[in-house]
Amino acid sequence: MDPDYGEKVVKAAVSKWGKLNIIVNNAGFTADKMAHTTDDETFRLMLECHTVAPFRIIRAAAPYMRIKDESKRENMSIINVSSTSGTHGNVGQVNYSAAKSAVLGITKTMCKEWGPFGVRVNTIAFGWIDTRLTRAKEAGEAIVIGGKSIALGIPGQPKGGAGSSVNAAADIPLRRPGKTEEAAGAMLFLASGLSSYVSGQTLEVTGGRNI
């Protein structure tokens, strides 16, 4: 991973918009293996993507979000995306779960460090949202990292996507996976002034799963 990635992303945003109000640390993927077969490289890969990258972006944003003059502050919100794998653990995802759990620690710490500057910092922990990360692994979706192809998806998952199998979603009270629009709606809430007194929290968007 480019160690200057955080600086480049933040500078590009400020260059285009002239300021920085909202950060959504959302990019990610999975590299699933059982713990006893997970090598160091695969474990670190998840930490680099889900933990180190958001930290670098937040650090780079400090000059634009730590505004001492209260009269110049606007609605400022940082949203770190975690997963129920990070809040509850998940078989075959020791690396992903560890990285996503670390996101919660980043959120709570930044809430305390940047709260005095009016910056709200929260986490969204998604459950089963219908994306290529949660569709059937047999569909052949993949991402290339460092020249290596990493398969995406869940083995044996319904190939038809969201709503294709009620049985597959039997442990979700709403009996279906979430839609990307619903995931975005939760994100919008935490980004907007509607959540102006919400900080340091983890909002689980799961359809009721894991309660």
Residues 32, 96: contact at Cβ < 8 Å? yes
Q: What is the 3-state secondary structure (H, E, C) of the chain?
A: CCCCHHHHHHHHHHHHHCCCCEEEECCCCCCCECHHHCCHHHHHHHHHHHHHHHHHHHHHHHHHHCCCCHHHCCCEEEEEEEEHHHHHCCCCEHHHHHHHHHHHHHHHHHHHHHHHHCEEEEEEEECCECCCCCCEHHHCCEEEECCEEEECCECCCCCCCCCCCCHHHCCCCCCCCECHHHHHHHHHHHHCHHHCCCCCCEEEECCCCCC
What's the chain's length in residues?
211
Residue 87: both structure tokens together: 């809040």
Q: Chain-centre distance of CA 27, in angstroms? A: 7
Q: Which of 5, 64, 96, 197 is catalytic?
A: 96
Residue 26: both structure tokens together: 């959302």
96 counts as catalytic: yes
Could you give the angle at which helices 5-17 and 53-65 cross, rounded to 10 degrees?
40
Active-site amino acid positions:
96
